Amino acid sequence: MTEGHAILVTGGAGYIGSHVVLALLDAGLRVVVFDDLSTGRPEAVPAGVPLVRASTGDATALRAALRDHGIGAVIHMAGSLIVPESVTDPARYWRNNLANTLVLAEACLAEGVTRLVFSSTAAVYGIPDRLPVDEDAPCRPINPYGASKHAAEQLLLAVSAAHRLDIVALRYFNVAGADPAGRAGQRAPGATHLIKVACEAALGQRAEVAIYGEDYDTPDGTGIRDYIHVTDLARAHVEALRHLAMGGGSVVLNCGYGRGHSVRAVLRAVEHATGARIRVRIAPRRPGDPPAVVAAAQRIQGLLAWRPAFNDLDAIIADAVRWERHMANQDRRHLWS
Ligand SMILES: NC(=O)c1ccc[n+]([C@@H]2O[C@H](COP(=O)([O-])OP(=O)(O)OC[C@H]3O[C@@H](n4cnc5c(N)ncnc54)[C@H](O)[C@@H]3O)[C@@H](O)[C@H]2O)c1
Ligand SMILES: O=c1ccn([C@@H]2O[C@H](COP(=O)(O)OP(=O)(O)O[C@H]3O[C@H](CO)[C@H](O)[C@H](O)[C@H]3O)[C@@H](O)[C@H]2O)c(=O)[nH]1
């Protein structure tokens, strides 16, 4: 697919990145991870995969990595992604998500890399007028995270229109779960994403789950999201590379299943999967949170040879719970070693 070249995965030591690396290896591709380990973990990088520890803001390190490892395509996943943090520290988001993407695009042009897959987000839409939201809907992000990712998309598409750099921007909806074979999962401490937080609470690793707002205009008053299994999402990256290799050209694609679940529905499903009761506390709405976001999922399935294999909230949660138990056992072993 890249004529013997390797794929550079920025952010490959992170949660989604580590699953993308596995999907690429499973497809028989050569992979190099480029990660500053700000939230990623070296143990998330499989043995034998080179790890370049540097920031995407470092043009010299990027160009050296592209050159030295014979990179044919880049999957750009490095970024900052916590919505409330983007509200309190916007400059960090504009720098990491936009300015560093510019550095990467320039490095690709300078080193003759012609294909790039970009991690974008449903947060670019803001509060959609209509659900499910399709790729042509207006982008009116309501927080600096979404704004910085939307600007990065615009930058990449403009570069793509002017130069030989083809882009697939994948707009991920809410990513959750873990590798069904148990090889990877979400490792970073202090998680904020709902399914991870709920699993930790169900397994006694945190006291409670705060429900951020019970007064939204949704059937049960809590926020609605389209949760996608991380392994399905990872495989979409392999198919996006295939699309580019076949000359498919630049495109923006939603990555979701087209089905929404409320916060309360997620908590019930985690309780069902674990047999535990989760203590909940009703908290005020979180700044920057839209009430409901659900993907129109047709375009990706029309364009890529991608079909979801884990389109089921219970399947996502089962893998998330299994990974959380695995992590808890590891922690206990460390305690006694
Ligand atoms: N988790 C989600 O639900 C979700 C949804 C939509 C989009 N995304 C996007 O997916 C990507 C990966 O997210 P994740 O959930 O795996 O988060 P993560 O924090 O686990 O992964 C991000 C990785 O990027 C690395 N990184 C950050 N800034 C860097 C820099 N300047 N230089 C080099 N490495 C850097 C981190 O060390 C980490 O390994 C992000 O771009 C994020 O915006 C995530
Ligand atoms: O402890 C928690 C955590 C979350 N929520 C609620 O659960 C829903 C999901 O929240 P997450 O924090 O899990 O995810 P977000 O929807 O805020 O954001 C995620 O999904 C977005 C797209 O919808 C972007 O892709 C973004 O990158 C990614 O972090 C929201 O209604 C939120 O208010 C709670 O009630 N309690």
Let me know whether 114 and 206 are in one domain. Answer: no
Look at residue 287 in the predicted model and tell me its pLDDT: 82
Q: In angstroms, rounded to a whole number, what is the distance separating the alpha carbons of residues 256 and 242?
A: 19
- Domain, as residue range, for 128: 6-176+227-255
Is residue 246 assigned to a domain? yes
* pLDDT range class, residue 219, cuts 50, 70, 90: very high
Q: What is the ipTM of this complex?
A: 0.97
Residues with a catalytic annotation lie at 145
Whether residue 327 is found in the same domain as residue 202: yes
Q: Residue 53 CA: which ligand is closest?
A: 1
Angle subtended by helix axes 194-202 and 263-274, to nearest 10: 40
**CA-wise closest residue to 2 among 107, 101, 117, 110:** 117
247 and 291 inside one domain: no
Residues near ligand 1 (Cβ within 6 A): 10-11, 13-17, 35-40, 55-57, 77-79, 81, 96, 100, 119, 121, 172, 174-175, 188, 193
Same domain assignment for residues 134 and 165 = yes
Decide if 46 is inside a domain. yes
Residues 143 and 22 occupy one common structural domain: yes
> In total, how many domains does the chain have?
2
Same domain for 13 and 153: yes
Rama region for 195: left / alpha / beta (φ>0; ψ in -120 to 50; rest):
alpha
Mean predicted lDDT score pLDDT of the chain:
95
Contacts of 209 (CB under 8 A, 6+ apart): 194, 197, 198, 201, 267, 278, 279, 280, 281
Pocket of ligand 2 (CB under 6 A): 81, 83, 121-123, 172-174, 192-194, 197, 209-212, 223, 225, 263, 286, 289, 293
Statement: residue 140 has pLDDT above 70: yes
118 shares its domain with 142: yes
Q: How far, in Å, is the centroid of ligand 2 from the Cα of 195?
A: 9
Could you tell me if 239 and 320 lie in one domain?
no
Q: Could you tell me if 209 and 166 lie in one domain? A: no
* Vertex 246: Cα angle to 242 and 248 (nearest 5): 95
Q: Residue 19 belongs to a domain with what CATH number?
A: 3.40.50.720
* The residue to which tokens 């979701």 are assigned: 256
Could you tell me the distance, in angstroms and rounded to a whole number, from the CA of residue 192 to the centre of ligand 2? 8
d(C-alpha 105, C-alpha 11), whole Å = 15
Residues 120 and 204 placed together within one structural domain of the fold: no
Peptide bond before 132: cis, by omega within 30 degrees of 0?
Answer: yes
Cβ of 259: how many Cβ atoms within 10 Å?
A: 18
Q: For residue 13, give the ligand 1 atom closest to its CA.
A: 39
Q: What is the pLDDT of residue 3?
A: 59
Please identify, by atom number, the ligand 2 atom nearest to the C-alpha of residue 195: 13
CA of 189 to the centre of ligand 1 (A): 14
Residue 88 lies in a domain: yes
Band of pLDDT at residue 328, cut at 50, 70 and 90 = confident
User: Measuring from atom 19 of ligand 2, which residue has the nearest CA?
Assistant: 174
**Does 117 fall in a domain?**
yes
Verify that 87 and 41 share a domain, yes or no.
Answer: yes
Flag whether pLDDT at 227 surpasses 80. yes
Write out pLDDT tens, residues 35-74. Answer: 999 999 999 999 999 999 999 999 999 999 999 999 999 9
Residues 43 and 120 in one domain: yes
Q: Which amino acid is at 32?
A: V
Q: Which residues pair with 51 in a beta bridge?
A: 33
> Which residue's C-alpha comes closest to atom 35 of ligand 2?
211
Q: How far is C-alpha 208 from the geometric centre of its chain's CA atoms?
A: 25
Rounded mean pLDDT of 63-86?
A: 96
